[in-house]
Amino acid sequence: MSYETLAADSSRPGEPTAILEDYERACGTFDWDETRRALGRPPAGGLNMAHAAVDRWVVNGLGNRIAMRFISRQWERRNYSYAALSGQASRFANVLDGLGVAAGDRVFTLAGRIPELYVTLFGALKFGAVYSPLFSAFGPEPVAARLEIGGGRVLVTTTSLYRRKVLPVRNRLPALEHVLLVDASGAELPPGTRSFPELMRAAADTWRIPPTDPEALALLHFTSGTTGKPKGAMHAHEAVVAHYATGRYALDLHPGDVYWCTADPGWVTGISYGAIAPLANGVTMIIDEEEFDAARWYRILAEERVNVWYTAPTAIRMLMKQGKELAAAHHYDRLRHLASVGEPLNPEGVVWGKEVFGRPFHDTWWQTETGAIMIANFRGAEVRPGSMGRPVPGIEAAIVRVRRDDEGNPVAAEPVTTPDTEGELALQPGWPSMFRGYLGNEARYRRSFADGWYLSGDMAKRDGDGWYWFVGRADDVIKSAGHLISPFEVESVLLEHPAVAEAGVIGLPDPVAGEVVKAYVELKPGHAGGDELALQLIGFARKRLGAALAPRSIAFSSQLPRTRSGKIMRRLLRARELGLPEGDTSTLEQGK
């Protein structure tokens, strides 16, 4: 079935027109400096993300506008005005000061969608510290690896997450000096922790943002590669310029809108578009503490009168699975713009949005490294279902053919001009939210570039009209339910099990989650595979990695395919599993 191009949404009565109405014109006239100026400057000078997102609204007399509306599991609603958020963030900046934290130190959160996470984020930014989120569904291993690489000095978390995920690995984290618990005080505090609310109560709620160099580091977002440890992508305060601009152009955020981003703040989308871009655009954001629940989501969209909704293909497919009837319980007459990110969005999903909400989903593409949306379907333009859209104004993209040396390092990248030709999606560096490096891994950073292009690691095509179409990853990284998973991180944990000699981990296609993690395991002599051991290994992996990363299924193999240099060939495992052509097996070890 092919899908026809959908005409641009027309505004309904009372709706503002699209911010980006004329794509070509906007591309021709766009200027980062002009955008930068729109964000104002903190009194002490420079450019500070927290000032641009929060404080400037207070300075401009809009402090009473609601910045965040929390909906607790029990459906209690709690509002934070821009002024209240600014005051709380100032308190936290004072807390950091009192703890002796220095500018540039790393402040982490390990928490679900709770107000303290956002207070920590903006407080750390105001202070001049670097903020890094950890996904609350991570197990102790991914938590430890990221805190270790990031040299986390402060961690804000809950008592339960601390006991289950940090305490078991804390002796590996000498840099971690301060653990602040949001839900404990006095005698109930476990040893080596302090009370977040007590410290906050004792701190002043005013803070003068020090002069912030736009290039000073603000955010550290961990992402995954195929080999080696997680990579900490570093982002500067200046990234807020791109958050702001893309919030306008790609998400059509108008000041005063009600906006809901369903991404968890443990990942880049939940920070860039679940906190910074929306506030920089002066909207009220909805933050739901609860996990996915179709009936609840429809209720939120309707009752909170959401204008702009940013979600992900896995969620859209889960909603689709439950049928249109459930959606019909409400009216969504305020819903103006629907957007999606994180994985390929099936054309069916785009069109389903139109059927259920009267608006199609607008796919957007970007990565942890790009910090902000790079390619999008715009509200004011036609939508081509199945396409990621076109580069946002200010961004130059291309499809390139990459030549690599024997070690896989890119040596040349040449733009492909013939339409509909597959190649690697590349971007011309220089936009404000581009990552400034991988913390402590300069070599890996350098390998992301060739001939002046940033290489995304995604394969794509561009059609004759300049629209981009996703083809697949160029590497073995797994995207499951929108979460980027490193096969190496999963393999490393499996190898710690006494029965496991070798492990190869791949993503298997899944109709809802996009991909699910599957592990192939070679056992040590004296061990026999079977259902019981498979369950044991899954349990072992879940305990260490957490539910988000652990494999869903395990297969035993007496001989995993290896290259002559001994590396497990994941590509071949996948091809064999799916009955696909095996491709080039010239490096395969004989007889496998």
Is the CB of 294 or the CB of 459 nearer to ligand 6R9? Answer: 459
Cα 367 to chain centroid distance, Å, stands at 7
Q: Smallest distance, Å, CB 340 to ligand 6R9?
A: 7
Using CB atoms within 10 Å of the CB of residue 64, give its burial: 0 to 12 exposed, 13 to 18 middle, 19+ buried.
Answer: exposed
Q: Smallest distance, Å, CB 282 to ligand 6R9?
A: 23
End-to-end CA distance of the chain: 40
Is the CB of 468 or the CB of 540 nearer to ligand 6R9? Answer: 468
Is the CB of 123 or the CB of 225 nearer to ligand 6R9? Answer: 225
Q: Smallest distance, Å, CB 389 to ligand 6R9?
A: 8
Classify residue 209 by its DSSP letter. Answer: P
Q: Smallest distance, Å, CB 271 to ligand 6R9?
A: 10
Give dist(CA 48, CA 67) in Å, integer. 18
In DSSP terms, 389 is beta-bridged to 468
Is residue 313 within 8 Å of residue 349, measured between CB atoms?
yes
Is residue 68 within 8 Å of residue 85, measured between CB atoms?
yes
Q: Smallest distance, Å, CB 207 to ligand 6R9?
A: 31
Is the CB of 462 or the CB of 497 nearer to ligand 6R9? Answer: 462
Is the CB of 183 or the CB of 510 nearer to ligand 6R9? Answer: 510
Q: Smallest distance, Å, CB 572 to ligand 6R9?
A: 21
Is the CB of 349 or the CB of 394 nearer to ligand 6R9? Answer: 349
Q: Which residue is nearest to ligand 6R9 (CB)?
A: 368
Is the CB of 212 or the CB of 456 nearer to ligand 6R9? Answer: 456
Q: Smallest distance, Å, CB 202 to ligand 6R9?
A: 38
Which string of DSSP letters, residue by residue, matches 216-250? SEEEEEEE--SSSS-EEEEEETTHHHHHHHHHHHT
Give dist(CA 391, CA 23) in Å, integer. 10
Tokens 């078991």 appear where?
168
Is the CB of 199 or the CB of 268 nearer to ligand 6R9? Answer: 268
Binding site for ligand 6R9 (CB under 6 A): 223, 267-269, 341-345, 363-368, 388, 456-458, 470, 473, 479, 484
Question: 523 — phi, psi (to 5°)?
Answer: -95, 155
Is residue 52 within 8 Å of residue 46, measured between CB atoms?
no
Q: Smallest distance, Å, CB 397 to ligand 6R9?
A: 13
User: HEC string of 270-327?
Assistant: HHHHHHHHHHHCCCEEEEECCCCCHHHHHHHHHHCCCCEEEECHHHHHHHHHCCHHHH
Is the CB of 154 or the CB of 450 nearer to ligand 6R9? Answer: 450
Antiparallel, parallel or unpaired: β 453-462 and 449-450: antiparallel
**153 CB-near residues (< 8 Å, 6+ apart):** 101, 105, 106, 107, 175, 176, 177, 178
Using CB atoms within 10 Å of the CB of residue 340, give its burial: 0 to 12 exposed, 13 to 18 middle, 19+ buried.
Answer: buried
Tell which residue, 307, 273, 270, 302, has the closest CA to residue 289.
Answer: 270
Give dist(CA 435, CA 428) in Å, integer. 13
Is the CB of 126 or the CB of 384 nearer to ligand 6R9? Answer: 384
Give dist(CA 53, CA 275) in Å, integer. 8
Q: Smallest distance, Å, CB 358 to ligand 6R9?
A: 22
Q: Smallest distance, Å, CB 363 to ligand 6R9?
A: 5
